C-alpha cells in the first residue's frame, strides 16, 4: 500500500441544485449560508490540523457564487464538469499533492470535524483504500465521511463509467476484493435522521436545529442530537433496522448487517454482502416480518451500493 505521509485533503462537494425545489448550499441557516457554516466547522482540520480544505463545485455560471463564497472563506476551489464528481476529486488531489482525500458529499452546516478526523485516523491505521461511516450508516445524513487513498482516486479517474461519475465511490464499495475497505460507527441507530441539504434533506429541519442549539458552529454532533432530538422514530408494529458493528478492515466479502426490530424486540437479522459476484441480500427473519424486513433492507441499498440497482437475494 501507499505511504500516508502527506497532510489529508478535505474536499467539500457543493453546487447549486438544478432542481429549484431542493434546498441550496447557499440557503441561509442561522444568519449565514449553509456552506459557510460547514467550512467554519471544518476549519479546525486546517491550519494546525494539517488538512487542506477544498470546495469542489461545477463550471456552471450558477456556481460562481459557490466558488466566491469558498474563496472568501479561505478555502481552495476546484471546478469540474457538472455531473462528473470523479474529476473534482482527481483535480483536487493532483493540484494539492495529497495521498489521502476526504470526500464530504452530503453538505450539512453541522458536519463535525471530529467525525472527519475519526475517519482519517481509522483510514491510516487500517491502511485502507476506502473508509467511510456508511457501511452501514449509523450517523445522521449530513455527517457522511468518505476517505480515499490516492490509489482509489486514480482508479476512479481511469475506470469509472460515465453513469458512475456522479456517484464516485460506487466502484470502491462494490469491490472489497480489490480495494481495502474500513468503516466506523456512531454507536447509535441514526440512519433515518437527516441534517443535510442534499436530495431528500429538509431546509426546515436544518433551520429548526439551528433555532434549538445555542452554539451551532461549535457544538459537536452528539450535543446537537441531545438538544434537537430525533425527528424520525419507528412506527409501532413496523420493522426497523438496527445496525450491527461493521466488519474488521479488509474483510471480504464485506457484510453490512442489521438486527430487524419490532417494538424493541429483535425478530431476526438482515444483511447486504459485497463481493466480486455483486451484492447479495440476506434475510433471516420469520413471517410475518419477512417482507417488511426485505423492504426495509432495500432502503439501505442506496447507502451501501451508492445508488439503487439490482441485487441478488436469499432467504435463510
How many structural domains does the chain have? Answer: 2
Query: Quick one: how far is CA 205 from the chain centroid?
Result: 19
For residue 235, what pLDDT band results from cuts at 50, 70 and 90?
very high
Q: Which of 156, 183, 210 is the last residue of a domain?
A: 183
Predicted structure pTM score: 0.93
- 51 and 7 Cβ atoms separated by less than 8 Å: yes
230 belongs to a structural domain? no
Q: Tell me whether residue 195 is in a domain.
A: no
Q: How far apart are CA 295 and CA 253, in angstroms?
A: 23
pLDDT tens-digit map of 195-224: 999 877 789 999 999 999 999 999 999 999
Amino acid 313: pLDDT: 42
Residue 272 CB neighbour total at 10 angstroms: 24
CATH code, domain carrying 159? 3.90.550.10
* Same domain flag for 21 and 107: yes
The number of C-alpha atoms within 13 Å of 233 and in the hemisphere containing its C-beta is 5
The pLDDT value recorded for residue 160 is 87
- Measure CA of the first residue to CA of the last residue in the chain; give whole Å: 38
Q: Are residues 173 and 244 in the same domain?
A: no
Provide the 8-state DSSP code for 141.
Answer: B
**Cβ(284)–Cβ(316) below 8 Å:** yes
Rounded distance between C-alpha atoms, residue 85 and residue 77, angstroms: 14
Q: Which of 183, 199, 226 is the last residue of a domain?
A: 183
Residue-wise pLDDT tens digits, 275-309: 888 899 999 999 999 999 999 999 888 778 765 44
Same domain, 175 and 257: no
Of 141, 161, 183, the residue that ends a domain is: 183
Domain that holds residue 43: 9-183
What average pLDDT does this structure show over 246-263?
A: 97
> Would you place residue 66 in the very low, low, confident or very high pLDDT band (cuts 50, 70, 90)?
very high
Is residue 2 very low, low, confident or very high in pLDDT (cuts 50, 70, 90)? very low
Q: For residue 164, what pLDDT band results from cuts at 50, 70 and 90?
A: confident
Is the domain of 175 the same as that of 267? no
The verdict on residue 37 lying in a domain is yes
Residues 27 and 155 occupy one common structural domain: yes
Q: Give me the residue label for grid cell 438496527.
A: 242
Q: Which residues contact 23 (CB under 8 A, 6 or more apart)?
A: 17, 34, 197, 201, 202, 203, 206
DSSP code of 308?
-
**CA torsion through residues 188, 194, 198, 203, sign:** negative
Share of the chain above pLDDT 90, in %: 80
Q: What is the mean pLDDT of residues 214-239?
A: 96
| Mean pLDDT taken over the chain | 92
C-alpha pair distances (Å), 253 with each of 68, 160, 181: 44, 21, 10
User: Are residues 288 and 145 part of one domain?
Assistant: no
Average pLDDT over residues 8-18: 95
Residue 232 in domain: no
Q: What's the grid cell of residue 294?
A: 426485505
pLDDT of res. 293: 97
Strands 312-315 and 278-284: parallel
Phi, psi of 276 (to 5 degrees): -55, -25
CB-CB contact of 114 with 145 (8 Å): no
> What percentage of the chain has pLDDT greater than the value 70?
95
Q: Which three cell numbers stand for residue 161?
A: 463509467
Let me know: does 272 contact 250? Beta carbons within 8 Å.
no
Amino acid at each position: 500500500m501507499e505511504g500516508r505521509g502527506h497532510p489529508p485533503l478535505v474536499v467539500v462537494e457543493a453546487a447549486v441544485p438544478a432542481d429549484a425545489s431542493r434546498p441550496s448550499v447557499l440557503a441561509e441557516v442561522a444568519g449565514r449560508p449553509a456552506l459557510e457554516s460547514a467550512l467554519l466547522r471544518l476549519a479546525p482540520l486546517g491550519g494546525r490540523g494539517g488538512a487542506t480544505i477544498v470546495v469542489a463545485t461545477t463550471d456552471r455560471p450558477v456556481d460562481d457564487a459557490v466558488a466566491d463564497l469558498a474563496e472568501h472563506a479561505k478555502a481552495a476551489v476546484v471546478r469540474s464538469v457538472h455531473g462528473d464528481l470523479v474529476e473534482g476529486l482527481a483535480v483536487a488531489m493532483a493540484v494539492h499533492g495529497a495521498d489521502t482525500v476526504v470526500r464530504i458529499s452530503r453538505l450539512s452546516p453541522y458536519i463535525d470535524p471530529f467525525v472527519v478526523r475519526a475517519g482519517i485516523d481509522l483510514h491510516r491505521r487500517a491502511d485502507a483504500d476506502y473508509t467511510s461511516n456508511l457501511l452501514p450508516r449509523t450517523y445522521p445524513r449530513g455527517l457522511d465521511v468518505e476517505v480515499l487513498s490516492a490509489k482509489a482516486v486514480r482508479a476512479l479517474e481511469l475506470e469509472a463509467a460515465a453513469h458512475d461519475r456522479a456517484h464516485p465511490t460506487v466502484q470502491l464499495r462494490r469491490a472489497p476484493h480489490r480495494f481495502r475497505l474500513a468503516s466506523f460507527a456512531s454507536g447509535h441507530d441514526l440512519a433515518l435522521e437527516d441534517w443535510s441539504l442534499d436530495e431528500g434533506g429538509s431546509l426546515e429541519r436544518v433551520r429548526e436545529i439551528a433555532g434549538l442549539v445555542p452554539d451551532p458552529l461549535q457544538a459537536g454532533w452528539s450535543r446537537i442530537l441531545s438538544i434537537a432530538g430525533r425527528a424520525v422514530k419507528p412506527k409501532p408494529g413496523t420493522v426497523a433496522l438496527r445496525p450491527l458493528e461493521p466488519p474488521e478492515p479488509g474483510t471480504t466479502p464485506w457484510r453490512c448487517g442489521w438486527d430487524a426490530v419490532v417494538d424493541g424486540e429483535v425478530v431476526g437479522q438482515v444483511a447486504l454482502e459485497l463481493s466480486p459476484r455483486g451484492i447479495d441480500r440476506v434475510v433471516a427473519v420469520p413471517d410475518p416480518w419477512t417482507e417488511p424486513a426485505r423492504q426495509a433492507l432495500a432502503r439501505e441499498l442506496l447507502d451501501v451500493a451508492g445508488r439503487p440497482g439490482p441485487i441478488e437475494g436469499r432467504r435463510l
